Amino acid sequence: MTLIEDARKGVVTDFVKKAAEYEGIEAEKLIRLISHGYVVLPKNVRREEVQPRAIGMLTSTKVNANVGTSADYINVEEEVEKAIIAQKAGADAVMDLSSGGDLDAIRKRIMEVVEVPFGTVPIYQAARDCHRVVDMDEDDFFRVVEKHAKDGVDFMTIHAGVNWVSVERLRRSKRLLGVVSRGGAITIGWMLHNEKENPYYKDFDYLLEILKEYDVTISLGDAYRPGCIHDAGDRAKYTEFIMLGELVEKCREKGVQCMVEGPGHVPLDQIETSVRAMKSVTDNAPLYLLGPLVTDIAAGYDHIAAAIGAAIAGMAGADFICYVTPSEHLALPTVEDVREGVIAAKIAAHAIDLIKEGQRERARQRDYEMSLARKNLDWERQFELSIDPEKAREIYSRRKSESEACSMCGDLCAIKLVKEAFERD
Amino acid sequence: MTLIEDARKGVVTDFVKKAAEYEGIEAEKLIRLISHGYVVLPKNVRREEVQPRAIGMLTSTKVNANVGTSADYINVEEEVEKAIIAQKAGADAVMDLSSGGDLDAIRKRIMEVVEVPFGTVPIYQAARDCHRVVDMDEDDFFRVVEKHAKDGVDFMTIHAGVNWVSVERLRRSKRLLGVVSRGGAITIGWMLHNEKENPYYKDFDYLLEILKEYDVTISLGDAYRPGCIHDAGDRAKYTEFIMLGELVEKCREKGVQCMVEGPGHVPLDQIETSVRAMKSVTDNAPLYLLGPLVTDIAAGYDHIAAAIGAAIAGMAGADFICYVTPSEHLALPTVEDVREGVIAAKIAAHAIDLIKEGQRERARQRDYEMSLARKNLDWERQFELSIDPEKAREIYSRRKSESEACSMCGDLCAIKLVKEAFERD
C-alpha cells in the first residue's frame, strides 16, 4: 500500500506522525491533505530512514538543492560534500542531477549522505547511456526509472507533459530561447527525431505502475519553462500546465503521490498569475518551483534573482523551492555556491512561512525571539537565531564595538536611545 | 528659482535635458512630472556637477548606498573607497551617514568622489556635536541643515513626521522594538527629555526656507519604520505616513522638491498595502525605501531579504531603493559588503523596471540581448550584459567546459539540443 492509500484509509503511520510533528500540525489533518493530494510526503519504500518533509498546503515551505556531476566536471566526493553542506544549510531535499561519470555509483554514493528526500531526473541517465540521445528506445525511458526506484530514490522528475499537443504549441511559439529544460530538450529531441510520442506521456499508466511499486513520488517536470523573460507565460507553457493537470488526476487515481514543477524566468508581474493558474488546473497539487528568476541579467547573483521570484511565488501558493546558486547560467556550482544558494532559498521560504496559513504563527515566533534578542542587545542569541549563525558571528566579530551595541551605530544605537528615553520619561 | 519652480514655468534646463535623456523619456514629460512633485531630480545649486538621477514616476528605479564612519570605526579613506565602489556597482545616489570623527571633513572628502546625488542626515551631526543628544537646542537642528546645504548636499533626510501626535501613537503601541531609526530616536529622545515639539515639525516652514535657498531635496524621514516583523504596519507608522503626506503638500507649495521614506521590516503580505497607502496619502510623492526586509532572521544576508522586499515594493510603486548590506544588524559594512549590497538592490531595481510603466521596454531590451547571447552561446556578450561582468566571467572561467556550452550541462545543453532538433526537423 502506498502512503497516499494509507492516508485515504485514515492510517496514521509513524512516518506520518513524525512528519506532522515536524510541521507542527495534527497528524489527522496531514493525512487528510495527503489523501487529497494537496501534500506529498516523499519516501521510497526501499529507503530505510528518511527525514520526513511534507510538501504542500499548510506545511512549511521546503527547499531543494541540486547536486551532481556534469560531463565536464566529475568529482564525486565534491558532489557528496555539496549534499552534506546543503543539508547543513537547511535543504529539505537533495536531487542528484549527475550526467557525467559512473552514474549508478555516483547516485548511490550521494544517497549515502542524504537524510532528507532524495530525487533524480532519470532521463539524464537514459540519455547518457546511449551514444546519441535520439538512439534511446522506448524501454530505455522506463528502465532507468525502475533502476532508480529500486535504488530507493524518493522522488523523480518526469517530463510527461511533453506530447505532440504541447510540442505543436512550442513550434508555433515565438520563443527566443526555445526549451531550456534539459529533460524537456532530450524528450523533444527524441520525439522529433523518431517521430514518436513521448513514452512517458503515452505509457503514463505503465510509468505509474513502476513508481507505485516503490511508492516513488512523481514530480511532473517543467519542460517548457521559459528560459528568459521574453518567453515567459506563453501558450506552450500554459499548455503544459494543462497536460500536467490531467496527469495529476491520473496519479491521484492510481495512488501515486505527485507534485508539479513550474517556471523558470518570469517577470515580477506574471508570477502570481502563473502560480495561481498552475494551482487551478492541477487542483492544488504541491508546486515545486525553479526560481522563478525575475531577470535574465543577474548572472553571478541568480540566487538573489531567484529568491525574489520564489518569495512572490510563495505568496501565491508555491510550496517547494528549488535553489539556484550564484553559478547558475555560468558553471557547475562549487561547494560554497551550494551553501549560498540554499541560504538564499531558505530566506525566501521563511519569508513565505511568515505569511503562510498553518505556519505563520510558528514562523513568526522565531522572528519575535530574534527581535527580542535585538532589543536586549543579546548577541549570542541573535547568532543562534540567524539563518546562518557562523556567518552572522563572523561579521559581527570582525568589528567589535566599544559599546554594547554593534559597530554600525555604536552609542547612537536607536534601540538604546528610545528605550532609555521612555524609561526616563 | 528652484528646479521645481523652473519646471512649473516649463523651463527645460540642460540638467533636465540630460536627466530626460538618461531616462529615455521626453524632457517635457519629465518637467511635468517634476512640477507635480511626482518626480524629484536632486541637485544642490552649490554643486557644480552632478549626474542627473530622476526619482519617481515613469523613471527608472534608483538605488542608494549609505557610507560613513561610526563612533567605533573611523577610517575615512575606507568610506571614500566604499563611495567609489558603490558608484562603480551602479549606485544612483550616495549618502554619508557618518557619526564618528571630524564629520565636516569626512563629508567634504566623500563628496569629492561622489558624482551622483549626495545625501546626508544632518541630525546625526547635530547630535554628535553635543555632549548628550538631549542637550541640543532648537537652533542646532537647523544650523547643521544650513551647513550641509552650503556644502552642496543634494538631498537630506529630515524626520519631520515626528511630532506629539505620532509620539502619542507610539506610546500607545505594543511595539517590541520601539524606534529603530537613528534620526527618529534622537528626535523622540530630545522631545521627551525637553518636553518640546520636534523643531523640524514645528518650524517646518523655516526649514524649507533654508532648503529652498540651496535647492536641496528633502527626504521626509521614516522615524517609525518597524524594526521587526512584529511591529510592521502599526498605527504609529500609519500616523507618520499621514504627517508626511501633509508635509509633502507644504513642500510642493513652497517649491521644495521632496520624497518620502518608507519602512523597514515588513512581512511579504503587507508590503503592497503599505506602499499603496503611502502613495495615497502623499499624493504620489517619490517613495524611498529602506528594504523592506521580509524577515528578521536573515542577519548576514539581509541584502537578500531586502532585495525581496524591494522588488515587491517596486511592483506597488516604490521608486528609490536604499541598499542593505550583508552586514546589516551586525556591523559597519566593509567595501565588499557595499558592493554586494548595491548589486542586490540593482537586481531588484532592474526587475522592477522590467514591469515599470515608462521603463519596461528599455529594460527588457537588455534582458532580450542577454538571452540572445545565451542562445548563441556568446559568452563574452553575456558577461558584458551581466549586472557584474567581472563576477560572471570569474565564475564561468573557473570551470571551463569542453563543449561550447558551460560546465553545468556540457554536451547535454538544452538550448543546443532543441535548436538542433528543430533545425534537423
**What are the pLDDT digits (tens) for A360-387?**
999 999 999 999 999 998 999 999 999 9
Size of interface A-B (CB pairs under 8 A): 385
Mind listing the pLDDT tens digit for each residue in B95-136? 999 999 999 999 999 999 999 999 999 999 999 888 788 889
Residue A272 to residue A287: CA distance in whole angstroms: 13
Q: Please tell me which of the candidates B269, B412, B413 has its beta carbon nearest to residue A315.
A: B269
* d(C-alpha A20, C-alpha A363), whole Å: 16
Query: pLDDT, tens digit, for every residue of A80-91?
Result: 999 999 999 999
ipTM above 0.90, yes or no: yes
Closest CB to B124: pick one of A184, A412, A422. A412
User: Is B32 annotated for ligand binding?
Assistant: no
Yes or no, beta carbons of B414 and A185 under 8 Å apart: yes
Nearest chain A residue to B354, by CA = A267
pLDDT digits (tens, 9 = 90+) for B152-181: 999 999 999 999 999 999 999 999 999 999
pLDDT band at residue A425 using 50, 70 and 90 as cut-offs = low
Q: Mean pLDDT throughout B362-382? A: 96
The Cα B346–Cα B323 span in angstroms is 9
| Chain-chain contact of B354 with A403 (C-beta, under 8 angstroms) | no
For A128-132, A272-276, A414-418, B13-17, which range has the lowest pLDDT when averaged over its residues?
A414-418
* Cα(B187)–Cα(B191) distance, integer angstroms: 6
pLDDT tens per residue across span B335-347 = 999 999 999 999 9
Ramachandran sector of residue B144 (left: φ over 0; alpha: ψ -120 to 50; beta: rest) = alpha
Q: Decide if A177 and B354 are in contact by the 8 Å CB cutoff.
A: no
Q: For residue A116, give the H/E element and its range.
A: none
Which pLDDT does position A301 carry in this prediction? 98
Q: Write down the pLDDT at residue B71.
A: 85
Q: Which of A183-197, A288-302, B335-349, B388-402 shows the lowest mean pLDDT across its residues?
A: B388-402
Going along chain B from its start, the domains and CATH numbers come out as 60-355 (3.20.20.540), 361-424 (no CATH)
A247-279: pLDDT as tens digits: 999 999 999 999 999 989 999 999 999 999 999
Q: What is the structure's pLDDT at B410?
A: 66
What is the per-residue pLDDT for B128?
87
| Shortest alpha-carbon distance between residue B400 and chain A (Å) | 8
- Tell me: the pLDDT tens digits for B73-98? 899 999 999 999 999 999 999 999 99
- Hey, what amino acid is at A245? G
Nearest to B157 by CA among B211, B104, B84: B211
Interchain pair B294, A177: CB under 8 A: no
Q: Cβ(B63)–Cβ(B342) under 8 Å?
A: yes
Q: What is the pLDDT of residues B266-321, one digit of tens each?
A: 999 999 999 999 999 999 999 999 989 999 999 999 999 999 999 999 999 999 99
Q: Would you give the end-to-end CA distance of chain B in angstroms?
A: 68
Is the CB of A352 less than 8 angstroms away from the CB of B312?
Answer: no
Q: Note the pLDDT of residue A370.
A: 97
Check B332 against A367: CB less than 8 A apart.
Answer: no
Test mutation, A130, A173, A304, A355, chain B, max B CBs within 10 A: A304
How large is the angle between the packed helices B360-375 and B414-424, nearest 10 degrees?
Answer: 80
Residue B48: band (very low, low, confident or very high) from pLDDT cuts 50, 70, 90: confident
- Decide if B368 and A180 are in contact by the 8 Å CB cutoff: no
What mean pLDDT, rounded, does chain B reach? 94
Pick among A66, A180, A182, A296 to test the B interface (most B CBs inside 10 A): A296
**Mean pLDDT within A135-144:** 94
A189–B418 CB contact, under 8 Å: yes
Write the residue in A343, A370, A417 that is nearest to B186 by C-beta: A417
Question: In A, which residues are within 8 Å of B178 by CB distance?
Answer: 375, 415, 418-419, 422
CA dihedral sign, ordered A52, A93, A186, A317: positive
Chain B partners of A70 at a C-beta cutoff of 8 Å? 407-410, 412
Q: Do A257 and A217 contact (CB within 8 A), yes or no? A: yes
pLDDT for res B408:
63
Task: Tell me what the mean pLDDT of segment A344-358 comes to.
Answer: 98
Q: Report in angstroms the alpha-carbon separations of A280 from A219, A274, A275, A320.
A: 17, 10, 8, 17
- The answer to the question of whether A258 is labelled as a binding residue is no
Asked if residues B160 and B201 have their Cβ atoms less than 8 Å apart, the reply is yes
Chain A residues whose CB is inside 8 A of the B231 CB are 371
Please compute, for residue B70, the number of CA atoms within 13 A of its CA located in the half-sphere on the CB side.
23
Q: Do A420 and B304 touch (CB under 8 A)?
A: no
Residue B322 assigned to a binding site? no
pLDDT band with cut points at 50, 70 and 90 for residue B403: confident
Closest partner CB to B417 (pick from A124, A133, A228) = A133
Q: What is the mean pLDDT of chain A?
A: 94
